[in-house]
C-alpha cells in the first residue's frame, strides 16, 4: 500500500512539475546572427530567411524537429539536417560549413 501511494505521489509531482522546454517550442521566433542576418521559425513548421537587398533574395523554407538537437530543413526541395544547440536566448547552428550563433530578436 505504501509503495502504491509513493508511486502515485511521484507520478503526481512529475506531472505537475515544469518540464524542460522542447526544441519545438524554444526555436520559435526571430533570431539574428552577428552579421545581422535574420532567420525566423514559425509554429506551423515554416521559416523565413531575410535576404540582402540587391544580392540575395528573401527565402522561405519548411522545417521539422528531428530531436532535441537537430532540425530538418526543406529549402526548395533540398533537404538537410542542422545541429542546433540552445542556450537560453541564443542558439548555435552547426553544419558542414561551420557554426553560427543566433540571438533571439523576438
The pLDDT value given to residue 43: 95
User: Taking the complete model, does pTM exceed 0.85, yes or no?
Assistant: no
The pLDDT value given to residue 59: 93
The burial of 53, by beta-carbon neighbours within 10 Å (0-12 exposed, 13-18 middle, 19 or more buried), is given as exposed
- List, in sequence order, the alpha helices (H) in 1-106: 2-16, 23-26
Residue 50 has which C-alpha cell? Answer: 531575410
How many angstroms from the chain centroid is the CA of residue 33? 15
The pLDDT value given to residue 89: 94
The mean pLDDT values, 10 residues at a time, for the chain of 106 residues are 34 40 92 94 94 88 96 93 94 93 92
Q: Provide CB contacts within 8 A for 31, sequence distance 6+.
A: 38, 39, 40, 41, 91, 102, 103, 104, 105
Residue pair 45/63 in contact (Cβ under 8 Å)? The answer is yes
The pLDDT value given to residue 12: 34
The pLDDT value given to residue 13: 34
User: Which among 60, 65, 33, 35 has a CA at the least distance from the CA of 49?
Assistant: 60
The pLDDT value given to residue 25: 93
Opening angle at CA 27, ends 25 and 31, nearest 5: 145
The pLDDT value given to residue 20: 53
Amino acid at each position: 500500500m505504501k509503495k502504491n501511494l509513493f508511486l502515485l505521489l511521484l507520478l503526481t509531482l512529475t506531472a505537475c512539475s515544469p518540464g524542460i522546454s522542447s526544441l519545438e517550442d524554444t526555436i520559435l521566433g526571430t533570431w539574428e546572427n552577428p552579421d545581422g542576418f535574420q532567420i525566423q521559425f514559425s509554429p506551423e513548421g515554416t521559416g523565413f530567411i531575410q535576404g540582402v537587398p540587391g544580392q540575395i533574395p528573401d527565402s522561405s523554407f519548411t522545417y521539422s524537429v528531428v530531436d532535441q538537437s537537430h532540425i530538418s530543413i526543406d529549402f526548395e526541395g533540398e533537404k538537410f539536417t542542422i545541429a542546433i544547440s540552445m542556450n537560453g536566448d541564443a542558439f548555435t547552428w552547426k553544419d558542414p560549413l561551420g557554426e553560427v550563433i543566433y540571438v533571439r530578436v523576438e
